[in-house]
């Protein structure tokens, strides 16, 4: 269906069969023989650099040895002890810049052990069986509020529930998962995996989720502090940066995060509108996900425009190559300066950039590209949280997620550090351990 404001943006550009092929699983899961062969490549290093490179410090040589000896479920237990969202992290972690980049095989041969795919193989094996792998400790009588059912909040809630605390999660959206449910490319988490993982995680018991309860709207930090023994904030980043340029608010200039969310929640990909000529502004994972999925939905041309060099691009080399392999044009050292069109965007004007004395600036040379749909993927911002000290534009924390307010911890994208699922899990887990120690000391 064509929009009257943006005639270049249409749904139904591809058939259902073509869309199904385009959005197949990015990495097919290992079968048992493939997993055994892949595990056999591991040197089982005693002082393994891959473990140090993992934000959740999974004992990677141990779980790979367990796979090699025919114990995939034991391997999964090793993973889940450190990272309860190990199944999702196996799918979305930039392993090529974390554990696999540190792998001795990568250093020696340029081909690492495929740790991520082995992690997926084992976690899928355990999650397929009945029952939850962990038991709750006896009830402590303590109650903890967790704000946000994303990776940090879920990891925190699960660890607290294991310790015997009663946990209530307050989630602003109608479904749990946060970034895993709403913000990751559909071809990375097929068949509703994010929702299934949350259901499995909640099998520990002791966790209640209250949906459509946003901090600062339906619930307040003061109210939570008054009614619970501790509070953990894993609120993520709700705001989206705007393009403050001429024509930046024209029809057809959209938020990449919203686009990805709509795609992830859609039951019919053929009903999703996409432009004929799409331009994505940004250089991170969100930009790549938006660009690739635009192409997979049937856009004729998709350009990803990043203001710095290829080497400085936040998205990994693997993600860059993936985008190129799907037909996305990558442009570096260009920044948007204007959107042109009568009411709706028709062209985007980009200015070439260069570094002068370490500062990025425009060269004055510009280029125009046809564009009936432009996605902003230039970062997100934290909605204000009253009473908390900030570090830059995020919540300031000390130690294992302690904020400036007594009894309040925080972790994930709302705190300083890398905005990665695996980092959020580590921060949620570590905050839970500190909350437990504090409550038990009281």
CATH superfamily for domain 32-127: Alpha-helical ferredoxin (1.10.1060.10)
> What's the rounded Cα separation, in Å, for the pair 61 and 70?
14
pLDDT for 220 equals: 95
Q: Looking at residues 141-170, what average pLDDT do you find?
A: 98
CATH superfamily for domain 240-376: FAD/NAD(P)-binding domain (3.50.50.60)
User: 53: which 2 tokens?
Assistant: 């490179």
Whether the predicted pLDDT of 153 surpasses 90: yes
Q: What is the CATH number of domain 143-238+382-441?
A: 3.50.50.60
Taking alpha carbons only, the member of 292, 280, 285 closest to residue 254 is 280
- Counting beta carbons within 10 angstroms of the beta carbon of residue 407, is it exposed (0 to 12), middle (13 to 18) or buried (19 or more)? middle
Confidence of residue 215 (pLDDT cuts 50, 70, 90): very high
| Cβ proximity of 176 and 209 under 8 Å | yes
Treating both helix axes as pointing N-terminal to C-terminal, what angle do 72-82 and 115-127 enclose, rounded to 10 degrees? 100
pLDDT for 4 equals: 42
Q: What is the pLDDT of residues 308-324, one digit of tens each?
A: 999 999 999 999 999 99
Average pLDDT score over the chain: 95
User: Percent of the chain at pLDDT above 90?
Assistant: 91
> What's the rounded Cα separation, in Å, for the pair 429 and 157?
8
Q: What is the pLDDT of residues 291-302, one digit of tens each?
A: 999 999 999 999
Q: Looking at residues 236-240, what average pLDDT do you find?
A: 80
Domain boundaries, the chain: 32-127, 143-238+382-441, 240-376
Confidence of residue 129 (pLDDT cuts 50, 70, 90): confident
Report the b/e string of 131-165 with b at 16+ CB within 10 A: ebbbeeeeebebebbbbbbbbbbbbbbbbbbbbbb
pLDDT for 3 equals: 45
Do 32-127 and 240-376 agree at the fold level? no
pLDDT for 5 equals: 53
Q: Cα–chain-centroid distance for residue 402?
A: 23
Q: Looking at residues 244-249, what average pLDDT do you find?
A: 93
The vertex-395 CA angle with 307 and 189, nearest 5°, equals: 60
> What's the rounded Cα separation, in Å, for the pair 137 and 164?
5
Give the residue with greater pLDDT, 393 vs 78. Answer: 78
Taking alpha carbons only, the member of 354, 188, 359, 370 closest to residue 285 is 188
Q: Rg of the Cα trace of the chain?
A: 23
Q: What is the pLDDT of residues 17-38, one digit of tens each?
A: 999 999 999 998 999 999 999 9
Whether the predicted pLDDT of 186 surpasses 70: yes
SS3 sequence, the chain?
Answer: CCCCCCCCCECCCCCHHHHHHHCCCCCCCCCHHHHHHHHCCCCCCCCCHHHHHCCCCCCHHHHHHHHHCCCHHHHHHHHHHHCCCHHHHHHHCCHHHCHHHHCHHHHHHCCCCCHHHHHHHHHHHHHCCCCCCCCCCCCCCCEEEEECCCHHHHHHHHHHHHCCCEEEEEECCCCCCCHHHHCCCHHHCCCCHHHHHHHHHHHHCCEEEEECCCECCCECHHHHHHHCCEEEECCCCCEECCCCCECCCCECEEEHHHHHHHHHHCCCHHHCCECCEEEEECCCHHHHHHHHHHHHHCCCEEEEECCCCCCCCCCCHHHHHHHHHCCCEEECCEEEEEEECCCECCEEEEEEEEEECCEEEEEEEEEEEECCEEEECCCEECCCCCCCCEECCEECCECCCECCCCCEEECHHHCCCCCCHHHHHHHHHHHHHHHHHHHHHC
| Cβ proximity of 385 and 403 under 8 Å | no
Whether the predicted pLDDT of 2 surpasses 50: no
């Amino acid at each position: 269906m064509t929009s009257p404001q943006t005639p270049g943006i249409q749904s139904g550009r591809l058939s259902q069969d073509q869309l199904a092929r385009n959005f197949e699983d990015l990495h097919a899961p290992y079968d048992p023989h493939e997993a055994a062969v892949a595990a056999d490549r591991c040197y089982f290093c005693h002082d393994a650099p891959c473990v140090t490179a993992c934000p959740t410090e999974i004992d990677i040589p141990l779980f790979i040895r367990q796979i090699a000896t025919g114990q995939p479920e034991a391997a999964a237990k090793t993973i889940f002890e450190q990272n309860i969202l190990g199944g999702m992290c196996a799918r979305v972690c930039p392993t090529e810049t974390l554990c696999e980049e540190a792998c001795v095989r990568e250093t020696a041969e340029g081909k690492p052990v495929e740790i991520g795919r082995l992690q997926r193989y084992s976690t899928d094996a355990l999650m397929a069986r009945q029952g939850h792998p962990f038991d709750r400790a006896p009830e402590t009588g303590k109650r903890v509020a967790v704000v946000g059912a994303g990776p940090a909040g879920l990891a925190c809630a699960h660890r607290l529930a294991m310790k015997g605390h009663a946990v209530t999660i307050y989630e602003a959206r109608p479904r749990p998962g946060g970034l895993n449910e709403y913000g990751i490319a559909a071809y990375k988490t097929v068949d509703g995996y994010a929702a299934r993982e949350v259901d499995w995680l909640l099998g520990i018991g002791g966790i209640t989720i209250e949906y459509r309860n946003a901090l600062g709207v339906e619930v307040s930090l003061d109210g939570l502090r008054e009614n619970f023994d501790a509070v953990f904030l894993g609120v993520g980043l709700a705001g989206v940066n705007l393009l403050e340029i001429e024509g930046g608010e024209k029809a057809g200039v959209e938020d990449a995060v919203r686009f990805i969310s709509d795609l992830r929640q859609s039951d019919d990909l053929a009903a999703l509108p996409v432009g004929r000529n799409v331009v994505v502004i940004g250089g991170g994972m969100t930009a790549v996900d938006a660009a690739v999925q635009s192409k997979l939905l049937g856009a004729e041309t998709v350009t990803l425009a990043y203001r710095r060099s290829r080497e400085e691009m936040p998205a990994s080399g693997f993600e860059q190559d993936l985008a190129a392999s799907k037909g996305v044009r990558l442009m570096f050292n260009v920044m948007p300066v204007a959107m042109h069109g009568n009411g709706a965007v028709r062209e985007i004007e980009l200015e070439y950039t260069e570094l002068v004395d370490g500062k990025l600036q425009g060269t004055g040379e510009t280029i125009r590209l046809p564009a009936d749909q432009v996605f902003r993927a230039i970062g997100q911002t934290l909605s204000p949280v009253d009473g908390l000290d900030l570090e830059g534009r995020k919540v300031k924390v000390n130690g294992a997620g302690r904020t400036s307010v007594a009894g309040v911890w925080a972790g994930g994208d709302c705190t300083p550090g890398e905005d990665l699922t695996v980092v959020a899990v580590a921060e949620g887990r570590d905050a839970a351990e500190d909350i437990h120690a504090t409550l038990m000391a009281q």
